[in-house]
Amino acid sequence: MKGRGGLAAILPFLWLALFFAFPFLLVAKLSLSDTALAIPPYAPRIDWSRGLAGVRDFLAALDVETYGRLTRDRLYLDAYLSSLRIAATGTGLLLLIGYPIAYGIARCPPAVRQALVMAVVLPFWTSFLIRIYAWIAILKPAGVLNAALGALGLPPVDILNTETAVILGLVYAYLPFMVLPLYAVLEKQDESLIEAAQDLGATPLSAFWRVTFPLSIPGAAAGALLCFIPMAGEFVIPDLLGGSETLMLGRVIWTEFFANRDWPAASAVAVVLLATLVVPILLFERQQAKVLR
Amino acid sequence: MDQGADGPLSERPPPHRPQIGGIRDTFAPWEDPGAKPLVRFEGVAKAFGATAAVKGVDLSIYEREFFALLGPSGCGKTTLMRMLAGFETPDAGRILLEGRDIAADPPHRRPVHMMFQAYALFPHLSVAQNIAFGLKRQGLPKAEVSARVEEMLALVKLDGMGRRRPDQLSGGQRQRVALARAIAPRPRILLLDEPMAALDKKLREETQFELMNLQQTLGMTFMIVTHDQDEAMVVADRIAVMREGEIVQVGRPGEVYEAPADRYVAGFIGDVNLFEGRVAVSEGGRVRLISDDGTFEADGAGPVGETAWVAVRPEKVAVHTEPPVAGANVLAGRIHDYGYLGDWTTYLVEVAPGRRVRATRANATRTVERPLGCGDAVWLSFAPSSAVVLTR
């Protein structure tokens, strides 16, 4: 029994070491290399035939020059800031849209709740790419949206290939990740707390703001991080809906890697993005620990 | 040895009836025809889907009364209380508070506060903030709120605990915070929903007396919902026994115990031995009943020739090792089983195959000359005035 318990404890660490720590170290190593006309296109590489001396030479050749390049070219800073801005805007909108949805579902009778949670998750049954392509069909100048606006006698809008379209796509794609954690905290909230608040003279609105809302903050924080972090590094949605105007780090990484064959730059951008996101993740962890205690 | 079925009754009740229950209590506003009830339920009914939870209840609760709604789970007592708090709407009937119909008032406008069963303390607020919640909603000035919170903390003996969080308190402390929170805004009536269900036995007994003291000190009206008959007996001025959405009997604890309205009440409150038979004689407040177990005489009245039951509490049944003088209310049997409880011993005496009578005896002395055991032949007897006749 003891051995099994030990294995169960080690497994997550093995998993993390194999699929997170090791790849990350590879990327970090790449970001400290220089570009080279070679296959693969970077240098230095470890010359194993020379044994320990080869490793020593390899380590000596690593430098932070690529990071210096990142600070000198405005493109990277702009992409970085606009990624954070777009992710923050998307997260804000998701909170505003997701909270009422989660709250509404949690207030329904249990049988209806199940069906509604199902409905929230249902879009996952269709390919993500197809759903984003569908947005192109909706948003393109002669698309569904403008046809509907025209039918209502309203002027057409041209929002495909703009930041607006990207934010629309992000909010659409990430809504379940906001709704589900919020629903989880709202659903398990003790109804008698609301009754107690009303019993003590709080109007239904005041009971919501003083009891329901503060108690749902952990769910809102979980949803916000679950959405903000991947949105900041999102590639597919800005690529398909944002056109060439929208600058986001995911696309910068893609361009550096595949178009410019600048693996070190792509890796350095990825490391910076991760480092930025680690801060909110740690904050979230501390908040969760507080809730559990 | 037995008197004939229609012979004279062996003992007549005295013309002046002694008071039931043996407690002298002068607080009885319900006996005053001029008294105005604080709360009045008039034909209140409530159904959930096809299930009728409360079926036309009439009830009056008076100022400063400690009133108990007693019944098994699902009898509608909680629904009745929740209708008074405003969390459920009656399908029919009226609820009056100080003579005014409060149907249109939402819960937050009713001067009725509730102490919830699981306390429902706000986990994100401190003890002091929990107690201040209702006071702040009343718009009291800050200084007065904090003064009242301190006063409440002292009242429930939680001085200095104001800054703690509910999850840092013991079960008993949480219960007292819930109590303080509900009484702080000085409601016209405090509703207590199974307030002691989560406490252990010893703490529960202490709390019962504390609750009574508090109610006396504050001069507040309390209404408690409970399924625990001991609890209702200890704390309440009057008890309403409920069954399947109806009130079966309302009375002082002593009345409900010693003069139950029917077999249900007799069995729900305390233990009871029932002897089914046919009424032979009924005169002057005394009845003779002929049953398979013998002839019984008991207080009450019943239609001659009809089926009725003689009910007698186990503690009123005497256990003899020698046959007593033959007559009514005497049974012979063997001890089938017993339970030694320290203060009491309960005997299960088999008087006929499969028919067992329960008798309890106070262990008034430490040593007993002739101890009883399983299989011993014993005789049971009880005085006619110690038993009642039930016709339902």
- Tokens for B91, please give them: 């399908």
Do B246 and B139 lie in a common domain? yes
DSSP B103-155: TT--GGGSSEEEE-TT----TTS-HHHHHHHHHHHTT--HHHHHHHHHHHHHH
Do B281 and B231 lie in a common domain? no
User: The dihedral of CA B229, B232, B238, B243: what is its sign?
Assistant: negative
Inside any domain, residue B293? yes
Select the more confidently predicted residue: B11 or B160. B160
Q: Where are the alpha helices (DSSP H) in chain A?
A: 2-16, 22-31, 52-61, 65-72, 74-107, 110-121, 128-139, 144-151, 163-187, 191-199, 204-207, 213-232, 236-241, 249-254, 263-292
User: Are B362 and B319 contacting, i.e. CB atoms less than 8 angstroms apart?
Assistant: no
Give yes or no for B124 touching A (CB within 8 A). Answer: yes
- pTM summary value: 0.79
B108:A202 CB<8 A: yes
Inside any domain, residue B19? no
**Residue in A190, A210, A214 closest to B120 by CB:** A190
Q: Mean pLDDT of all residues in chain B? A: 86
For chain A, list residues with pLDDT below 50: 1-2
Distance to chain A for B294, nearest Cα, Å: 55
Do B211 and B318 lie in a common domain? no
pLDDT for residue B13 is more than 70: no
- Tokens for B321, please give them: 């090792």
Q: Which of B124, B152, B168 to mutate to test the interface with A (most CBs of A within 10 A)?
A: B124
Q: Say what the ipTM of the complex is.
A: 0.80
pLDDT of residue B51: 86
A198:B107 CB<8 A: yes
Give yes or no for B49 touching A (CB within 8 A). Answer: no
Sort out which chain B residues have CB atoms less than 8 A from A109's CB and list them.
none
Do B288 and B367 lie in a common domain? yes
Do B101 and B170 lie in a common domain? yes
Do B224 and B277 lie in a common domain? no
pLDDT of residue B286: 84
At which of B258, B286, B319 does a domain end? B258
**Residue in A195, A200, A214 closest to B137 by CB:** A200
Inside any domain, residue B185? yes
| CATH code (residue B314) | 2.40.50.100
Residue A287 CA to chain centroid, in angstroms?
19
- Compare all CA atoms of chain A with the CA of B168 and give the residue at the minimum distance: A293
A201:B185 CB<8 A: yes
The mean pLDDT value for B65-75 works out to: 90
Distance to chain A for B227, nearest Cα, Å: 20
Do B312 and B250 lie in a common domain? no
Task: Report residue B342: phi and psi, to 5°.
Answer: 95, -75
Do B225 and B281 lie in a common domain? no
Domain count, chain B: 2
Write the pLDDT tens digit of every residue in B193-249.
988 887 888 888 888 888 888 888 888 999 999 998 888 988 889 999 999 888 999
Amino acid letter, residue B148: R
pLDDT of residue B217: 87
Inside any domain, residue B216? yes
Sort out which chain A residues have CB atoms less than 8 A from B185's CB and list them.
200-201
Q: Which residues pair with A116 in a beta bridge?
A: none
Distance to chain B for A229, nearest Cα, Å: 28
The mean pLDDT value for B106-120 works out to: 92
User: Are B312 and B294 contacting, i.e. CB atoms less than 8 angstroms apart?
Assistant: no
Do B117 and B234 lie in a common domain? yes
Sort out which chain A residues have CB atoms less than 8 A from B107's CB and list them.
195, 198-199
**Residue in B114, B117, B138 closest to A199 by CB:** B114
Select the more confidently predicted residue: B326 or A148. A148
At which of B227, B258, B289 does a domain end? B258
Do B240 and B110 lie in a common domain? yes
Inside any domain, residue B13? no
Give yes or no for A201 touching B (CB within 8 A). Answer: yes
pLDDT for residue B364 is more than 70: yes
At which of B235, B258, B281 does a domain end? B258
Inside any domain, residue B268? no
Inside any domain, residue B11? no
A193:B106 CB<8 A: no
Q: Which residues pair with B377 in a beta bridge?
A: B334
**Residue in A193, A199, A214 closest to B107 by CB:** A199
- Tokens for B322, please give them: 């020698």
**Residue in A192, A201, A202 closest to B120 by CB:** A192
A193:B133 CB<8 A: no
Do B38 and B166 lie in a common domain? yes
A196:B123 CB<8 A: no
pLDDT of residue A168: 94
Range of B37's domain? Answer: 29-258
Inside any domain, residue B289? yes
The answer for A 244-263 residues in CB contact with B (under 8 A) is none
Select the more confidently predicted residue: A281 or B267. B267
Give yes or no for B48 touching A (CB within 8 A). Answer: no
Judge residue A39's burial from the number of C-beta atoms within 10 Å of its C-beta, 0-12 exposed, 13-18 middle, 19 or more buried. Answer: exposed
| CATH code (residue B128) | 3.40.50.300
Give yes or no for B106 touching A (CB within 8 A). Answer: yes
Residue A245's Cβ-side half-sphere holds a number of Cα atoms within 13 Å equal to 10
Write the pLDDT tens digit of every residue in B119-154.
999 999 999 999 999 999 988 899 999 999 999 999
- Compare all CA atoms of chain B with the CA of A204 and give the residue at the minimum distance: B108
Distance to chain A for B221, nearest Cα, Å: 17
Do B205 and B348 lie in a common domain? no
